[in-house]
DNA sequence: AAGTGGTCTAGACCACAAC
DNA sequence: TTGTGGTCTAGACCACTTG
């Protein structure tokens, strides 16, 4: 082991190339990387249990404590969920208590549960060519095939969110308006189930804007009503961008909530 | 030890009351709580080193690994910063790389460093009585003394943020406009230094709004320009609210950036 | 009872910083 | 050289879930 101390039984991890800068990293980081690769390759699917800590320790020939620390970090990254007595499970957007993890819009009074689920109306779902902007966000080339979805989310019958989604055409080949509208539960859960694409993190840029006539009409609001513009890029494993989303949020009855630590 | 296994040398932690529901919690959580109390009581000040893991282990009569896990959580909560080879330090808002931890407004191009520090202009700083709304946010009673500060932050000479701060009158007795304007560095660092108040977390509610005439004038923008309304409640230890802040952000040259995990 | 994650300990050694 | 945090191990036992 060039990259970690104690090689009592030769952990089954790769040696760094000799000569070059020897990418030092602790054993548990290497284990984390290996588990990550298995997650990514789909060896264990969202919602399924991964092998027990003891099993993984045996597989990688390290102590249980080292595997534990690796999994601790994966759990901190929300890639995996630990359940005492049951096992460790691949995280998924399809669960009750983690649903709409990325949606920070909250009703001004009460919580999201009291409000009930959003009604989805898909206005459009078509195959287009990536604009320069969309291509940059999705790490594609201008003109590459992209699927664009436009939809409105309503709460209690009130149109509240208008958003456009852009998805890489390759990974999401065959996505239809019916799929986008009909699936029960978070759209990201549908992406996992139907396309094997799991979003693990996202970045948002938020602005205050006025809607153009078309947008105002879709939300049934005046053109003078200021709206929250939320541009999101969602990433799957390995920081690969898989979705660009531009949303307009009404904030007269809702607000965007953020916790700072 | 009623709440943890292994009492080899009787860890110096309190026993839960007999009879009542025995507040089970692991040893390291109890240690974390004890360290937290010392932080809160000011036994170690922001920026100072806390005792080494070995010292704390000896003090609390537990193993170093247990102290380590307690400190790990404190570090994850940003209450403390670990520095290999040097020690563990009480976190502070006065450091380069953690400065403006709570300010999520970024210039559209470049990062915050390229933009340089904000210029502060304090428009007002006065003692007032808490309105019902302010009192609720700060866990005070309506009419309690509160200090209100109104200021404008400019970047490169352009007024970008207009904000009002409300602070509990008791804890911030004697705060002057000169202090608010003159201090170099984050306002939260000044709070630590001058008033011994350290903000550890915050919640924000964000909306899109149009400014009233006075607000538009202070920011030198049209009343038709949509602005980001950011309402923040900042908390010190123990979830005690110590600041209510209402900001209006220009988002034509900047954006509010948020990372979702 | 068996299996899983969760806690705790003790001891060894590494990496880094300061003297 | 010393002291600090960081890593790794091995073993014991606890808490929770399932059969």
A69 Cβ contacts chain C strand, under 7 Å: no
The verdict on residue B114 lying in a domain is yes
Domain endpoint, select from A58, A90, A122: A90
A123/A75 same-domain check: no
Q: Does B228 contact chain A (CB < 8 Å)?
A: yes
Alpha carbon of residue A24 to chain centroid: 29
The Cα–Cα gap between A244 and A256 comes to 19
The verdict on residue B78 lying in a domain is yes
The verdict on residue A7 lying in a domain is no
The Cα–Cα gap between A32 and A70 comes to 5
pLDDT, tens digit, 9 for 90 and up, residues A220-231: 999 999 999 999
CATH number at B63 reads 1.10.10.10
In contact, A87 and A116? CB cutoff 8 Å: no
* Per-residue confidence (pLDDT) for residue B7, from 0 to 100: 38
Beta bridge partners of A125: A149
- pLDDT confidence bin for B9, thresholds 50/70/90: very low
A194/A115 same-domain check: yes
B213/B184 same-domain check: yes
A157/A178 same-domain check: yes
Q: Which nucleotides of chain D have an atom under 7 angstroms from any protein CB?
A: 3-11, 13-18
Number of structural domains found in chain B: 2
A222/A118 same-domain check: yes
* Contact call for B228 and A209, based on CB within 8 A: no
The Cα–Cα gap between B206 and A85 comes to 40
CB neighbour list of residue A221: distance below 8 Å, 6 or more residues apart = A211, A227, A250
pLDDT, tens digit, 9 for 90 and up, residues A155-177: 999 999 999 999 999 999 999 99
Residues of B in contact with A259 (CB under 8 A): 201-204
CB pairs under 8 A between A and B: 101
Give backbone dihedrals phi and psi of A28, rounded to 5 degrees, phi first: -65, -30
Determine the distance between B30 (CA) and D10 (C1') in angstroms. Answer: 26
Q: Does A257 contact chain B (CB < 8 Å)?
A: yes
Beta bridge partners of A202: A234, B260
- Which candidate, B204, B162, B102, B137, places its Cα nearest to that of A228? B204
The verdict on residue B15 lying in a domain is no
Which residue's C-alpha is at the least distance from the C1' of D3? B85
pLDDT, tens digit, 9 for 90 and up, residues A12-51: 554 444 444 456 799 999 999 999 999 999 999 999 999 9
- CA separation (Å) from B99 to A253, B84, B240? 33, 21, 22
B186/B222 same-domain check: yes
E strand residue ranges, B3-131: 49-50, 80-83, 87-90, 105-107, 119-129
Candidate from A3-7, B90-94, B210-214, B252-256 with smallest mean pLDDT: A3-7
- Structural domain range at position B57: 27-90
Burial A206-237 (b: 16+ CB within 10 A, else e): bbbbbbeeebbebbebeeebbbbbbbbbbbbb
Q: Which nucleotide is nearest to B84 (CA to C1')?
A: D5
B58/B174 same-domain check: no
A61/A128 same-domain check: no
A124/A69 same-domain check: no
Residues of B in contact with A255 (CB under 8 A): 205-207
The verdict on residue A213 lying in a domain is yes
Helices first, then strands: H and E counts in chain A? 8, 11
Q: Does B78 contact chain A (CB < 8 Å)?
A: yes
A33/A117 same-domain check: no
A152/A221 same-domain check: yes
In contact, B80 and B31? CB cutoff 8 Å: no
Candidate from A151-155, B5-9, B77-81 with smallest mean pLDDT: B5-9
- CA A89, A94, A99, A104 torsion: positive or negative? positive
B129/B239 same-domain check: yes
Domain endpoint, select from A62, A90, A118: A90
Domain endpoint, select from A72, A90, A108: A90
The verdict on residue B22 lying in a domain is no
CATH number at B243 reads 3.40.1410.10
* Per-residue confidence (pLDDT) for residue B117, from 0 to 100: 85
Which residue's C-alpha is at the least distance from the C1' of C10? B63
What are the residue ranges in chain A where pLDDT is below 50?
Answer: 1-11, 14-21
The verdict on residue A15 lying in a domain is no
The verdict on residue A128 lying in a domain is yes
* Per-residue confidence (pLDDT) for residue A114, from 0 to 100: 84
Residues 15-54 of chain A within 7 A of strand C, judged by CB, are: 24, 50, 52-54
Pairing of strands B105-107, A254-260: unpaired
């Amino acid at each position: 082991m060039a990259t970690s101390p104690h090689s009592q039984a030769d952990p089954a991890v790769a040696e760094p190339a000799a000569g070059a800068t020897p990418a030092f990293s602790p054993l548990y980081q290497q284990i984390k990387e290996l588990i990550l690769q298995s997650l990514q390759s789909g060896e264990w699917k969202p919602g399924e249990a991964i092998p027990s800590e003891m099993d993984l320790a045996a597989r990688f020939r390290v102590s249980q404590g080292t595997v534990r620390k690796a999994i601790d970090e994966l759990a901190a990254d929300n890639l995996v969920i630990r359940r005492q007595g049951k096992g460790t499970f691949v995280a998924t957007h399809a669960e009750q208590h983690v649903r709409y993890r990325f949606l920070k819009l909250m009703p001004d009074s009460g919580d999201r549960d009291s409000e009930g689920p959003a009604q989805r109306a898909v206005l459009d779902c078509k195959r287009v060519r990536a604009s320069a902007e969309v291509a940059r966000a999705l790490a594609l080339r201008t003109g590459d095939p992209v699927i664009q979805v436009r939809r409105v989310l309503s709460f209690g019958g009130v149109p509240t969110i208008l958003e456009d989604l852009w998805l890489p055409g390759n990974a999401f080949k065959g996505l239809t308006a019916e799929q986008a509208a009909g699936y029960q539960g978070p759209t990201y859960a549908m992406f996992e189930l139907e396309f094997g694409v799991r979003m693990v993190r996202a970045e948002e840029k938020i602005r205050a804007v006025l809607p153009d006539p078309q947008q105002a009409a879709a939300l049934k609001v005046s053109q003078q009503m200021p709206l929250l513009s939320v541009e999101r890029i969602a990433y799957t494993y390995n920081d690969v961008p898989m979705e660009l989303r531009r949303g307009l949020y009404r904030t007269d009855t809702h607000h965007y909530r953020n916790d700072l630590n």
